[in-house]
Structures are given as structure tokens and as C-alpha cells.
Amino acid sequence: MRNSPKQIIISSIIIILVLSNYGFGQKEFIKVNGKKVEIFIAGLENNQKDKPVIVFENGMASKYGNWESVISEVSKTSAVFAYNRPRIGESEDDNIPPTTTHIAENLRKMLLEKGLKPPYLLVSHSFGGAYIRSYASYYPDEIAGLIFVDPIDFTKKKGYGSLPYLEIGLTQHQIDSMFAKPYDKFKEKLFEDMPNFYVQEVKISIKLNETEFKECTSISLPDVPVHFIMAGGYSAEGDDRGETIFDKEKLFRINNNLKMKRWIALLDPLKYGKFIYCSNSGHFVMKDDQETVIASIKLALIDYDRLQKGKK
């Protein structure tokens, strides 16, 4: 039996809705500073006063679709907000550098406009870690918890970049020779070849490194559940250094160990700090090991409730 034109139209609408909204949330657009920003909201039925809203911050030049499996699960019990920063996905270019201050203010405006009030459990990947760490510095009283999924190392100080190379056996002269001029040429080529949305965030990353991430760490971490999830799976495919005089995987392990010590030192003063090491996961842990990220979010929510009950 042939479908009527009306049935065909209805079926097409349903398919479009399912594809655009993953079947469990709503893709929308919101104006911030006069520019369109692509957002995704799920689990609104779970939005209650004093119950943490789960907010996702993407990695460098990445889209919120990377969180799809995680959002699908956690939105069953919590309100969830994800979005694409300016210039990324369908979000318009606002012609403002994506500094941590600018992005944090944008995020806060959008959350409040959509009726998603604090507290917020902020979940980030990679470069997004700098943004949520900054948000926690600017608005510490709004934070229910912080989850850093294989984050940019905002504990890094000047000279720290040489430490893994020194430990593997290189001299400081060898390190300087490797990175001085080649790095400048790499930046020039990167800025010429890569799309603007990527270049703009790389420039902010460079500035953060130069200032030792002072924008991000102006105050200590709030005493809320804080998790660091580290990816321990080494992949030669992601290493573009070509032939080297050192073992690249060994260097990766040394670097991870150094970061691990610094991150754990940040967690030690906190009541509910957790460090999670995923030995077989690549950088995109939320794809390679989404169960761990989901479990981390659920644990953070449980510990937040414990903290609130303790205050009472």
C-alpha cells in the first residue's frame, strides 16, 4: 500500500527530528552578543532547584557530538547542556578571541537564559579543561564539580616542557635545537593552512602557556568533587614528530607520569578528589571508554550530595 503525501511528510519530519536531536535531546540556536550559537539540551525534565546541571565543554576546535554517548546516558537523570563555541559547527563567528574570560561569560549567559541555574557540574575534554578551570576561578560558588577528561595541562610552568626530554636522556642543548626554529615554522604553516576556528584557539593556548595559565588558576580549586581522567593509550598515529633520537612511547609515559604527580597534588587537599587512569584509551576517552566518563559523572553527583548533606 502506498503512503499518502501527508504520511510521507510526517515520516520525513520524524526522521529529521531524530537525526538532528540524537533522539534524546534538542538542538537549538541562541543569540549571544548578537551572534548565533549552536546548543544542545537534554534531560530538561530533570532540571530541579539545587540539582546540578551537567555542562560539557569541548576540546580544541571540537564539536559537542563527541559527547553523544555520554550525554545519552547522563541525561536520563540530569539536565544536560552542550554547545559549540563561536566559529565551530553551526555557531557563528563573533569576531572576539576565544579567551577563557570570554568563553566563560558566554557560557554563563546561555545557561541562565535557558533557565539552567547553578550549581553546575562542568565536564571538559582536552583544551576545554582550561575553560572550565577558569569558570571555577571566576564563579567558584556556582560549581558542583569539575571533571577533566585528558585535559590540557594547566599546571604547566615555564621549563616544565623540557622535563620529560631531560628524563629520557636529552641535553638542554638538544632540546633547544629541536624546538626553537622548527616550532616557529610549524606555527607559521599551521596558521596558513588550518581553518580560522582552529587557529584562534591555538593562539589562546599559546598565550595561556606563556602566562603559565594564570587566567585559569587565579584561585585554588573549590572543595567540590574534582576528577582527572587520564588517557594512557599511546598511538604512534597521533605523533607527527617523524624520526627521533628518542623512544616516543617512552617519552609519552614519562610525560604522563609527570602530569599525574602534579594533578594528584591538586586533588590531595580536596575531600572528594579522584584520579582515573585509562590505560587502553586514546585521547578521546569519552569515545574509547565512555563508561568510565559516565561513571565519573555519576560518582561526582553522589559526592556532591554528600557534601551538601554534610553542610546541613
CATH code where residue 210 lies: 3.40.50.1820
Tell me whether residue 38 is in a domain.
Answer: yes
Residue 235 covered by a domain: yes
What would the grid cell of residue 219 be?
584561585
Q: In what order do the strands lie in the sheet with 25-32?
A: 25-32, 35-42, 80-83, 53-57, 120-125, 143-149, 226-231, 273-278
Query: Does 52 reside within a domain?
Result: yes
10 in any annotated domain: no
Stretch 267-283: mean pLDDT? 97
pLDDT > 50? residue 2: no
Specify if 22 maps to a domain. Answer: no
DSSP class per residue in 147-197: EEES---TT--TTGGGHHHHHHT--HHHHHHHHHHHHHHHHHHHHHHS-HH
d(CA 129, CA 60): 10
- Give mean pLDDT, residues 259-267: 97
What per-residue confidence (pLDDT) applies to 209? 95
Window from 4-13, 146-155, 302-311 with minimum mean pLDDT: 4-13
Say how far apart CA 15 and CA 123 lie, in whole Å: 30
Residue 22: band (very low, low, confident or very high) from pLDDT cuts 50, 70, 90: low
* pLDDT (0 to 100) of residue 246: 84
* Position 32 in a domain: yes
pLDDT digits (tens, 9 = 90+) for 104-130: 999 999 999 999 999 999 999 999 999
Structural domain of 79: 27-311
In a domain, 188, yes or no: yes
* pLDDT the model gives residue 176: 86
- pLDDT greater than 90 at residue 293: yes
For 199-221, the pLDDT digits (tens) are 999 999 999 999 999 999 999 99
Q: pLDDT digit string (tens) for 171-201?
A: 999 888 877 665 666 677 778 888 999 999 9
More confident residue, 193 or 29: 29
Query: What is residue 104's predicted lDDT score, i.e. its pLDDT?
Result: 98
Quote the pLDDT of residue 122.
99
Question: Rounded distance, CA 69 to CA 112, Å?
Answer: 25
pLDDT of amino acid 12: 39
CA distance 238 to 236: 5
pLDDT number for residue 59? 98
Residues 194, 242: contact at Cβ < 8 Å? no
Query: What's the confidence (pLDDT) of residue 183?
Result: 60
Question: Is the predicted pLDDT of residue 18 greater than 50, yes or no?
Answer: no
User: What total of structural domains would you count in the chain?
Assistant: 1
Cα dihedral sign, 296-300-302-306: positive
To the nearest 10°, report the CA torsion of 72, 73, 75, 78: -170
- Parallel, antiparallel, or unpaired: how do β-strands 35-42 and 273-278 relate? unpaired
Tell me how far apart the alpha carbons of residues 187 and 191 are, in angstroms, rounded to a whole number: 6
Chain-wide mean pLDDT for the chain? 90
The arithmetic mean of pLDDT across residues 24-31, rounded, is 92
- Grid look-up 636529552 returns 170
pLDDT confidence of residue 5: 45
Residue 307 binned pLDDT confidence (cut-offs 50, 70, 90):
very high
DSSP class per residue in 19-51: HHHTTTEEEEEEEETTEEEEEEEE-GGG--TTS
Q: How many residues does the chain have?
A: 312
> Would residue 171 count as lying in a domain?
yes
